Structure 1
Amino acid sequence: MIVFRNVSISYPLPGGQRRPVFENLSFEIQRGEHVYLIGPTGSGKTTLMRLIYMDLLPESGYCQVGDYRSDRIKPAEIPYLRRTLGVVFQDFQLLPDRNVYENVAFALYVTGKRGAEVKTRVLQALTLVGLSHKRRRYPHELSGGEQQRVVIARAIVNDPWILLADEPTGNLDPRVADEIMELLLNLHRQGMTLLMATHDYRLVKKYPARTLAILNGQLVEVDPRTL
């Protein structure tokens, strides 16, 4: 479960003032839910994601993700929190000098895993996203949709309970975007919590789920059919 209680956060401005992003924001996401996060550019979608994996901490209030609370977590515990999460970025962030297998394996190496366990997990993740046959290819040899599948494999290889997808289809054409959406929904059906930030209202309407819109620093639940 993800819980935000009275969360406020702001960013510094050049003149010394601060621009509020959220003020007294409260909401919950239950384990196993599929939730869309929508809102205009600059509304705070990425900031909210960063608060969940505690790359940012609230100025007041708290975020709770599973057993971890932002107002109680120690710096040494943050890597353990992040092992329970998978993050999919819009711009892929793949390592260009490593092949598909090595890019996915990297997420396991940084947690200290080695040997046969790495091979088994990587091949399982690549099979889930339909890319085991391209494990020796490099990112520049893949299409945009294939690169995003590698990113998803890397995000799920540690078997996270929640998948955070920040504009995962933003750089893809509609046909490929649908393929990536079907893949994400298949992972959700297997029990993974899915929180997806998106500008693509077409996808939200085609694959409706609970939809939260950021408006003036607050979250408002909206009917996806009205978008």
Structure 2
Amino acid sequence: MIELRNVTVSHPLPDGSRRTVFEDLSLRIDRGEMVYLIGPTGSGKTTLLRLMYMDLKPDAGLVRVGDYRSDTIQPREIPYLRRSLGIVFQDFQLLPDRNVFDNVAFALYATGKRGAMVKNRVLQVLARVGLSHKRKRYPHELSGGEQQRVVIARAIVNEPWILLADEPTGNLDPAVADEIQKLLLGLHRQGMTVLMATHDYRLVRKFPSRTLAFLKSKLVEVDPATLGVE
């Protein structure tokens, strides 16, 4: 359901030259997979996720996500693609002036949904992430782990088929990171495709699954058990 075929991406530099992030990269992720994406800072993890939600187009090659292709997608179609994806960021990006319920509901309002459907769906996903009792709290009243649970609830409220998570446990201590990871794995077991970029090798070893690593601008599959401690 996700395919990258011979993809090359580069970024412009101040001197007018370009830095190649990766080149001739090919990848396939089937529906229902759980995949880790690892590699050092600057190796291309976030760039790869941006390609998938079409925030970035490749210099060469093809990106296909479901029915959408990077070479044919029109700007007006990109919002529809993104509605089929859930995106979780490391820095939460919650609205500080809205409570938990309204932060999650915002994602539904943005797609034109209204009324009782919004209330019912938000309450369902808050129960799913264990935050029903904090639906009236504001972000500053929550712990880091609770804020990340709100972000995940917001990401899945539109029932996406894939969840893209960019360092979702990067700001959390190990015990809380484990809780968030168990939540993501639970979503995967219920049928959601999950692609998680992370530098937390401890987490990947503890909850092993298919693991792709950026090594010298190449993407290779590695055994989680062989990963060292960072």
Superposition TM-score, scaled by structure 2 size: 0.98
Matched with 1:174 is 174
- Count of aligned positions: 227
Give, in angstroms, the shift of residue 53 of structure 1. Answer: 0.3
Quick one: which amino acid aligns to residue 123 of structure 1? L
Deviation at 1:146? Answer: 0.2
Residue 130 of structure 2 is matched in structure 1 by 130
Partner-residue secondary structure (3-state), 1:203:
helix
Aligned match of 1:83: 83
Aligned equivalent of 1:44: 44
2:195 corresponds to which letter in structure 1? L
Deviation at 1:74, TM superposition (A): 0.7
Residue of structure 2 in register with 1:208 after alignment: 208
Alignment partner, residue 156 of structure 1: 156
Deviations 1:7-60 (CA, angstroms, capped at 9, x unpaired): 111100010000001211101000000000000000010000000000001111
SS at match of 1:23: strand
Aligned residue type for 1:225: A
Q: Does 1:7 align with 2:21?
A: no
Q: Distance in 1 between matches of 2:65 and 2:59?
A: 17
Letter in 2 for 1:46: T
Q: Compute the TM-score of the two structures, normalised by the length of structure 1.
A: 0.99
Aligned equivalent of 1:63: 63
CA distance in 1, matches of 2:216, 2:17: 18
SS of 1:95's partner is coil
Equivalence for 2:118? 118
Query: Alpha-carbon deviation of 1:215?
Result: 1.5
Distance (whole Å) between structure 2 residues aligned to residue 6 and residue 121 of structure 1: 40
Q: Larger deviation: 212-221 or 12-21?
A: 212-221
Could you list the structure 1 runs, at least 4 aligned residues long, displaced by more than 6 angstroms after superposition.
Answer: none
Q: Extract unaligned runs of 5+ from structure 1.
A: none
Give identity over the alignment, percent: 78
- Specify the code of the residue in structure 1 equivalent to 2:21: V
TM-superposed deviation, 1:218: 1.7
Tell me the amino acid that sits aligned with residue 199 of structure 2. H
Q: Deviations over 1:189-208 (max 9, x none)?
A: 00000100001101100000
Distance 1:72 1:158 in 2: 25
In structure 2, give the amino acid aligned to 1:61.
G
In structure 2, give the amino acid aligned to 1:35: V
Deviation of residue 176 (structure 1)?
Answer: 0.4
1:101-142 deviations in Å (ceiling 9; x for gaps): 010001111111111111111111101000011000000000
Q: Please give the per-residue CA displacement for 1:52-89, whole angstroms capped at 9, x wherever unaligned.
A: 00000111111000000010101111001001100110
Query: C-alpha root-mean-square deviation of aligned residues, in Å?
Result: 0.6
Offset of residue 216 of structure 1:
2.1
Distance 2:62 2:98 in 1: 38
- Equivalents in 2 of 1:222, 1:136: separation in Å? 43
Q: Deviations over 1:127-182 (max 9, x none)?
A: 10000110000000000000000000000000000001110000001110000000
The whole-number CA distance in structure 2 between the counterparts of 1:36 and 1:12 is 28
Unpaired runs of at least 5, structure 2: none
Structure 1 equivalent of residue 20 of structure 2? 20
